[in-house]
Each structure stands twice: as C-alpha cells, then as structure tokens.
Amino acid sequence: MKLYNSLTRNKEKFSPAEKTVTMYTCGPTVYHYAHVGNLRTYIMEDILEKYLIYLGYDLKRAMNITDVGHLTSDGDSGDDKMLLGAKREKKTVLEIAEFYTQAFFGDFEKLNIKKPDIVIPATSRINDYIDIISSLIQKGYAYESGGNVYFDTSKLSKYFVFSRHLAENLEVGVREDVGRDQNKKSPNDFVLWFTKSKFDSQELKWPSPWGTGYPGWHIECSAISIKELGPKLNIHCGGVDNAFPHHTNEIAQSEAFLGGHWCDFWFHVRHLKDETGKMSKSKGGALTLSTLVEKGYSPMVYRFFCLMSHYRKVLSFTFPALDNAKAAYEKLLSRILPLIEDKTDSAIDKEAFKFHKAAFVSALGNDLNTSLAVTSIYDVLKSGATGATKLCLIADFDKVLSLDLIKNAVSYGESQKLIESGAEISANGAEDELKILIEKRTAAKKAKDFAAADKIRDKIREMGYAVEDTADGVRLKKL
C-alpha cells in the first residue's frame, strides 16, 4: 500500500520489515464527551488498521487515555483540562476520567470502531515516565528549572520535524495561547515533569526525584508506545492538531531516549469543521454522536459520511450534507436488499470476485481512498456478476468499511414494510410524524441508546399508538 507520511510529506510504499505491524494512536483527553470531529479521526484510523489486517498483516495497536497533564493550550500554559472537567461536574478527576472513558468506548462500539488491543490510562505509568525523564537528564537532554523538568530542544539538530504542519496548526488556531514560561531556556522547550504549577488544587500528584508533582502531557505517549510496542514503531496516528506540539515533542524525547530513529510513518487526519470553524471539546456544546442519534441519524450514517471524503482533506459538517449521506446510505441498502431476498441459487463467479476485489484493494491502497472504495460497491452492484458474487464481495469489503451493509439492508427492508403498514393504520394525518419517530427509534435502538428509544416510544404512545417489537419487526397498535 501507499500511505502519505507527514514526516517526509510524500506518499510512500508501506513495506514493514516484520509481519507484525505496530501502530500507536493518541487517545482522548477524558474531560468531556468526544465530539464528532474526534470520532472522524478514530474512524479513519480504524479503516487504516482494518485495511492492514485485511491485507494479511498482524497488527498490534496501543492507545493512551489522557487523564493527567493536558493543559488547554496544548503546550505548557492554560488550565488543566481534567481539573476544569472535574470542577464543572463537581466530581473527582478520576471519576470524570472513568465516566468519559466509558462514553468514548461506547461511541467506538456504536461506530464499529475496533478498540485497540492495548489501552493504557496515563496515570497508570508514572514510574515509566520517571525512568525516561531521569535518563534524559543523565544524557543532557533535559534540565531542572524553577522546580520543573524541561526538555532542552537546543540539543537537537532538528526540532520542527513537521514544519508544514506547524503552519496548518496556526491556521486552525491551536497555538492561540502560548504564555511565556520564564523557567524555559528556550520557548520551544517543553515540560516533562511539573512540581511547580499554578494549579494549587492539582488533585493527582506523585513523588519523584524532582519533588512531588505530575507529568507533562507528551511523555505518556512515548513511554506507553515504547513499552508496549517496542523501540521501533511502524505507524503513529492522530488528528492534524497533534502534529505540533504533541507529536513533535514525542519524537524529540523518544529519539533522545532511544538514541536513534523511532517511528516510520506519521498518519494525520485533517479536521472536521462546522460553521464555527474547528470543532473544539473545550468550547463545550460540540456536536456528539448521541446528539446525532437523538436527531434520528444512525451511527452508520455518520461513518458513511466520513468515508465519503479523503482523510487528508478538511471535512465540513452540515446537516444537509449529513442528510445527503443518510439518503445515499439508505439507497445503497435498498439496492443490496433484493440480493438478500433473492432465493434463487447462484454460484460465485471467481473471476468477477477477483476483479472487483482488486479494484477495492487498489482504492484503499492508494493512501486510503475511502470514497473510491465505496464507489467499488456501486460498481459491484452495477456489474453483471451473479447475486451470490455481489453479496460475497459486499460482505468482504465490509470487513474494512464496517458499515453493517448486509445487516442493515435487512432491517431497512423491515422498516420499509413497517412504514407501509404504518401508513395504513393512521388515517389522521400523523403518518409522516409516526414514520419519522419509528425510524428514529430504530436508529436509537441500533445505537444501543435505549434511553432515547424509550423516550420516542413514549412520544408515539402520546400519539395514540403502542409500539410492539415482534419477530417480523416493529408493529404499531392503536390504543
């Protein structure tokens, strides 16, 4: 496969020396719900992982959960995001970390995103950070100043490894707050360990050779990746805002610690934007997956929406655009349904299977062109291949795309039957509203959002109908 590498700014052949590919993913900062922008990044990383598995690689993937050390500036200034979250909810830092970690993986499940094999909360690896920081001080790459420990960027021949990303980050306003810390020898230096911070109420602190304190944000990813995946990493992923300063600092400290090259490929997903610009968790009120589900969009529609554009392009979120994705997804299901309902026996045409599979593999093999990969489903449907061949190809492609195409084509068929029967039962002009409510309830149930599904059922009841889930699908009964 060819994959764009942000480090070299080239599409490069991905040909790892070992059959087991190692992949590291920067995890969420768990002080709030993930917004749909964060989830875009994780959906595209999921496609990358599943595509490599589809090609036959063994894959080992690790992810951190940031529950300490991430300040609002992404650098070393601003407020502590976890403390802000805990204050907002009048809970402890660990309580909100636990709550939002669960919510995050709940979204993963709804969106068919595979949970990484290894998931490590940052607070669980403090001794490893202390070991790495001690070694960096010993090698002359780090210094103590004003009670904190800093990485000395002047010791590197090249610090700004993602210089083009720096410009992109300035464009998205990531570095809006770069308060000057007088303890730093150079403004580029970054904190490895805080003992003196302005957060008197810092809840989580640990003893260290430099005094009681807590780690800077970047050290967790280097330490977790090196321990879990070894000193040579194949792919490191994240959203584009992570390139600077986070990934730049990860490279600085990991390579200084290891004494050589660390990671081969840097995979960065561009942002999802809404009308207000970059979506931001800290602004609050950012769009979440649950809100989309409440509005009647199934998580698969959002996944489909993301797959329709390339991960290296900024994606603009609007509801009309999501409506288009919903219509296109349902149209696709409606075209798959007759293949499932067709009871005539047909054989699999091996040549046709090979031909279409090659097109799919080549689409994703060209820097993960997901929209072209989706187009290969339409090409299968249009082709003269037998029904069995078509179904088999769709099931095969869905191992990577994970759009639940066959399962949802069946439920789509059931909901269509229901809508037809719904139109018969209601002669009081409420058919349209009932139809929409039934669709929303089905979407909520599929997303395992049972609270939302129950609310919709109550609303339908207020309109004079009981909802019954039968073996043949949902039925409405006049009360």
Report the interface residues with ligand AMP, using CB under 6 A. Answer: 26, 28-29, 37-38, 40-41, 238-239, 241-242, 269, 271-272, 278-279, 281
What length does the chain have?
A: 479
Q: Are 305 and 321 in contact (CB under 8 A)?
A: yes
C-beta of 269 vs 301, nearer to ligand AMP: 269
Instruction: Indicate the SS3 state at residue 222.
Output: helix
Question: Using CA of residue 361, residue 366, residue 370, residue 376, what is the dihedral sign?
Answer: negative
Nearest CA to 271 among 44, 66, 67? Answer: 44
In degrees to the nearest 10, what's the CA dihedral of 451, 456, 459, 465? -120
Given the rule CB under 5 A, which of 3-11, 98-106, 213-221, 443-451 is the region that contacts Zn ion? Answer: 213-221
The option from Zn ion, ligand AMP, none interacting with 208 (CB < 5 to 8 A, set by class) reads none
Q: Please, what is the minimum distance in Å from the beta carbon of residue 206 to ligand AMP?
A: 22
Q: Please, what is the minimum distance in Å from the beta carbon of residue 289 to ligand AMP?
A: 13
* CA–CA gap between residue 166 and residue 174 (Å, rounded): 10
Q: Are 110 and 289 in contact (CB under 8 A)?
A: yes
Q: Please, what is the minimum distance in Å from the beta carbon of residue 265 to ligand AMP?
A: 15
Q: Please, what is the minimum distance in Å from the beta carbon of residue 248 to ligand AMP?
A: 13
Radius of gyration of the chain (CA): 25
Q: Are 227 and 128 in contact (CB under 8 A)?
A: yes
C-beta of 37 vs 85, nearer to ligand AMP: 37
* CA–CA gap between residue 435 and residue 145 (Å, rounded): 65
297 alpha carbon, distance to own chain's centre: 18
Instruction: Note whether 237 binds Zn ion by CB under 5 A.
Output: no
The option from Zn ion, ligand AMP, none interacting with 83 (CB < 5 to 8 A, set by class) reads none
Given the rule CB under 5 A, which of 79-87, 90-98, 221-229, 262-270 is the region that contacts Zn ion? Answer: 221-229
Instruction: Note whether 252 binds Zn ion by CB under 5 A.
Output: no
The amino acid at 326: K
C-beta of 144 vs 255, nearer to Zn ion: 255
Q: Please, what is the minimum distance in Å from the beta carbon of residue 26 to Zn ion?
A: 3
C-beta of 282 vs 362, nearer to ligand AMP: 282
C-beta of 112 vs 183, nearer to ligand AMP: 112
Q: Are 36 and 269 in contact (CB under 8 A)?
A: no
The option from Zn ion, ligand AMP, none interacting with 447 (CB < 5 to 8 A, set by class) reads none
The tokens describing 286, both together, are 């950012």
Instruction: Note whether 263 binds Zn ion by CB under 5 A.
Output: no
Nearest CA to 36 among 141, 111, 117, 140? Answer: 111
Q: Which of residues 15-74 bind Zn ion (CB under 5 A)?
A: 26
Task: Transcribe 398-426 into DSSP letters.
Answer: HHHH---HHHHHHHHHHHHHHHHHHHHH-
Phi, psi of 343 (to 5 degrees): -95, 0
The option from ligand AMP, Zn ion, none interacting with 281 (CB < 5 to 8 A, set by class) reads ligand AMP
Q: Please, what is the minimum distance in Å from the beta carbon of residue 388 to Zn ion?
A: 45
The option from ligand AMP, Zn ion, none interacting with 271 (CB < 5 to 8 A, set by class) reads ligand AMP
C-beta of 95 vs 469, nearer to ligand AMP: 95
Q: Please, what is the minimum distance in Å from the beta carbon of residue 221 to Zn ion?
A: 3
C-beta of 55 vs 94, nearer to ligand AMP: 94
Q: Are 126 and 150 in contact (CB under 8 A)?
A: no
C-beta of 26 vs 447, nearer to Zn ion: 26
Q: Please, what is the minimum distance in Å from the beta carbon of residue 246 to Zn ion?
A: 5
The sheet carrying 20-25 orders its strands as 118-121, 58-65, 20-25, 233-239, 263-269
Q: Which of 221, 252, 279, 292 binds Zn ion (CB under 5 A)?
A: 221
Q: Are 110 and 292 in contact (CB under 8 A)?
A: no
The tokens describing 205, both together, are 């602190």
The option from ligand AMP, Zn ion, none interacting with 221 (CB < 5 to 8 A, set by class) reads Zn ion
* CA–CA gap between residue 396 and residue 249 (Å, rounded): 40
Q: Please, what is the minimum distance in Å from the beta carbon of residue 28 to ligand AMP?
A: 4
Instruction: Indicate the SS3 state at residue 28.
Output: coil
Q: Are 94 and 431 in contact (CB under 8 A)?
A: no
C-beta of 155 vs 278, nearer to ligand AMP: 278
Q: Please, what is the minimum distance in Å from the beta carbon of residue 296 to ligand AMP?
A: 23
The option from ligand AMP, Zn ion, none interacting with 279 (CB < 5 to 8 A, set by class) reads ligand AMP
Nearest CA to 376 among 332, 316, 321? Answer: 332
C-beta of 26 vs 405, nearer to ligand AMP: 26
Which residue's CB atom is positioned nearest to ligand AMP?
A: 239
Q: Please, what is the minimum distance in Å from the beta carbon of residue 260 to Zn ion?
A: 20
C-beta of 239 vs 413, nearer to ligand AMP: 239
* CA–CA gap between residue 430 and residue 465 (Å, rounded): 11
The option from ligand AMP, Zn ion, none interacting with 241 (CB < 5 to 8 A, set by class) reads ligand AMP
Please give the residue ranges that form the binding site for Zn ion (CB under 5 A): 26, 221
